[in-house]
Amino acid sequence: MTERIPMRYTVALEGFGSADRAVLDRFFLMAPDRAPAYAPADTFAEADFVVADADHAPTVAAVTDAGRLRDVVFVGQAKPAGAVACLPRPISLVNLLSELDHLLEQRLAAFDEPVVSEWLMATPDPVVTTPGNLSDEPTTGLDVLVVDDSRIALKFLQVRLQGLGYRVHLAQNSDAALKLLAAQPFSLVFLDVALGLDSPLDGLALCQHIKQRKSHPGDIAPRVLMVTGLASSTDRVRGDLAGCDAYLTKPLMEPAFLEALHLVDPSLVV
């Protein structure tokens, strides 16, 4: 399957004073080095998403009248009527990235177009072709497993890893992951901590299971990377106790991502 979902989206900043805008301008220094990437929009009308001042009444009225509430992350004291996402001040750029990712997930999940449906719902093949490679030649890198209950999170990480030459396999819960782990060797496993109500094990328990298992297919014990929105020091300690080899927090930033990959896969060439 050839990847056709955009990896880059534009964002307009509306209604902010100079102090807030100076902070938000730094957002665009973070956002390009990741997938999905976010870049400044030329105009409000052309923007894929909007970050707006919830305390600036004319801006709230403008985005409401334009029917853009589902595309807006508001920043301010009170959540405007009908708003989907609202963050308090002081502005957290990491939380802003997370909210934009959530809006994108909702947008893509709601689409009926065949290309989006195919992109979200396709069952991964044993060997997944590299996005952008129009031939059907498989990748030649290591086999890796990504486990996350979010289809969007799975697919974006799949794209990033395939771009680095890995053969990517996907699972949305611990049962599916355990079946794959029992069937073939994996060099790397990427786990979210929260795997949803349909998963008998969370990511920490699944990590612990992998690390305590005495035998693995092909006699290869995979290295485990946690990829999660849980970022406190306590959460990191729990990851260490579960035996993970690296702990990455969402939104997943490219420098930390590549640093962790080099740690668990020294053969990686970027």
pLDDT in tens, 8-34: 889 999 999 999 999 999 888 866 656
Q: Check residue 75 and report its DSSP letter.
A: E
pLDDT tens-place string over residues 100-140: 988 988 887 665 444 444 444 443 443 333 333 323 334 44
Average pLDDT of the residues of the chain: 84
Distances (CA, A) of 58 to 25, 80, 96: 21, 12, 22
Query: What integer pLDDT is reported at residue 5 of this predicted model?
Result: 55
Residue 40 has pLDDT above 90, yes or no: yes
Q: Quick one: CA dihedral 112, 169, 35, 202, positive or negative?
A: positive
Q: Is the preceding omega at residue 90 within 30 degrees of 0, hence cis?
A: yes
Query: What integer pLDDT is reported at residue 227 of this predicted model?
Result: 92
Q: Check residue 164 and report its DSSP letter.
A: T
Q: Check residue 208 and report its DSSP letter.
A: H
Q: How would DSSP label each residue in 218-270?
A: GG---EEEEEES--SHHHHHHHHHHT-SEEEESS--HHHHHHHHHHH-TT---
Instruction: Place 220 in a pLDDT band, splitting at 50, 70 and 90.
Output: confident
More confident residue, 29 or 213: 213
Query: What integer pLDDT is reported at residue 247 of this predicted model?
Result: 96
Q: In the structure encoding, which two tokens stand for residue 161, read together?
A: 């890893």
Residue 63 has pLDDT above 90, yes or no: yes
Query: What integer pLDDT is reported at residue 229 of this predicted model?
Result: 80
Instruction: Place 51 in a pLDDT band, splitting at 50, 70 and 90.
Output: very high
Query: What integer pLDDT is reported at residue 2 of this predicted model?
Result: 38
Query: What integer pLDDT is reported at residue 115 of this predicted model?
Result: 41
Contact 40, 14 (CB under 8 A): no
Question: How many C-beta atoms surround the C-beta of residue 178 within 10 A?
Answer: 18
**Three-state secondary-structure class, residue 30:** helix
Contact 140, 133 (CB under 8 A): no
The model's pTM is 0.66
More confident residue, 110 or 149: 149
Instruction: Place 97 in a pLDDT band, splitting at 50, 70 and 90.
Output: confident
More confident residue, 176 or 156: 176
Phi, psi of 209 (to 5 degrees): -60, -45
**Three-state secondary-structure class, residue 129:** strand
> Cα separation of 214 and 33, whole Å?
38
Share of the chain above pLDDT 90, in %: 56
